[in-house]
Amino acid sequence: MTIQKAIIIGASSGIGRELAKILSRNGYELGLAARRLPELASLQKELETKAVVKSIDVTQTDEAIRRLEELIGELGDVDLIVISSGYGIYNRKLHWEREKSTIEVNVLGFTAIAGAAYKYFHERGRGHLVGISSIAGIRGSSDMPSYNASKAYITNYLEGLRLKAMKTKKSIVVSDIQPGFVDTPMTKANTGMFWVASVEDATDQIYRAILRKKKIAYVTNRWRLVAWALRLMPDWLYARIM
């Protein structure tokens, strides 16, 4: 039986870490990447299958691409690449360093990894690229303007890659996972959350979306209703709640 192999970028915590556990339980050999090697080494010991770890800082774009290519080489062949790394912080006063950090991770870093992953799958002739965006990408935010904008960018970039795959007629699947509120370290400071999913429940739904090769998946499923409401909400009402 052929062993499936996956790489997770941003595997040290949150959704990426939990997804690694689920994939391992289902027989995947893994490449685990993040900035923090100790957290990856700890996760590696918990997994049931072979896992290779590598430190990748997506903000160092050229180096990140090179290290992703190395990780692919060490695994031998890769069926699935998941980009789960992300950054977001409240920035009501528009401190440039906060905006810059968000853009470096969610736009520059994401683009570097997604583009390299797509090119690998194009050369291979098949594969599955998964990006974690957010419901937040549907509309802007006065509190986190660069975060919402960066998530909209991710969604559009993934759609562009999906269209590119369709034109090449190669078996490349591109999935956009759009979570609502998930109980991860990044959301701890947000006190206005509702319908908060545990990281286990959210990641279980993400795994099922991957199996079904969904183009777009809302996590959890009921956030589809919020997405619909946000798109239809008039500006005056959206401004009052945001």
- The string of DSSP codes covering 27-66 is T-EEEEEES-HHHHHHHHHH-SS-EEEEE--TTSHHHHHH
pLDDT of residue 28: 97
- The pLDDT score that the predictor gives to residue 178 is 96
Q: Which domain holds residue 45?
A: 5-241
- 108-136, pLDDT tens digit by residue? 999 999 999 999 999 999 999 999 999 99
Per-residue confidence (pLDDT) for residue 221, from 0 to 100: 86
Using CA atoms, how far apart are residues 115 and 131, in angstroms rounded to an integer? 11
Active-site residue flag, 147:
yes
- Please give the pLDDT value at position 182: 81
Look at residue 227 and tell me whether its pLDDT is greater than 60.
yes
Average pLDDT over residues 14-29: 96
Average pLDDT over residues 221-241: 87
Is pLDDT above 70 for 167? yes
Q: What is the CATH number of the domain that holds 82?
A: 3.40.50.720
Closest Cα to residue 120, out of 59, 75, 54? 75
pLDDT tens digits along 138-161: 999 999 999 999 999 999 999 999
Mean pLDDT of 8-25: 96
Catalytic residue among 28, 118, 147, 157: 147
How far apart CA 120 and CA 92 sit, in angstroms, is 39
3-class DSSP string for 111-168: HHHHHHHHHHHHHHCEEEEEEECCHHHHCCCCCCHHHHHHHHHHHHHHHHHHHHHHHH
Cα separation, 10 vs 121, in Å, equals 20
Instruction: Report the alpha-carbon distance of residue 207 to residue 164 in Å, rounded.
Output: 24
Predicted local distance difference test score (pLDDT) of residue 169: 87
Backbone angles phi, psi at 144, to 5 degrees: -135, 65
Mean pLDDT, the chain, integer = 92
75-112 per-position pLDDT tens digit = 999 999 999 999 988 899 999 999 999 999 999 999 99
Q: What is the pLDDT of residues 181-217, one digit of tens each?
A: 887 665 555 555 666 788 899 999 999 999 999 999 9
Tokens of residue 210, six digits: 């991957």
How many domains are contained in the chain? 1
Q: pLDDT tens for residues 32-41?
A: 999 999 999 9
Reported as half-sphere exposure (CB side, CA atoms, 13 A), residue 202 has a value of 23
Q: How many helices (H) and strands (E) does the chain have?
A: 9, 7
What is the arithmetic mean of pLDDT over 54-58?
97
Instruction: Name the residue with higher pLDDT: 209 or 238.
Output: 209
Token duo for residue 212: 């079904």
Predicted pLDDT of residue 49: 95
**DSSP 8-state secondary structure symbol assigned to residue 182:** B
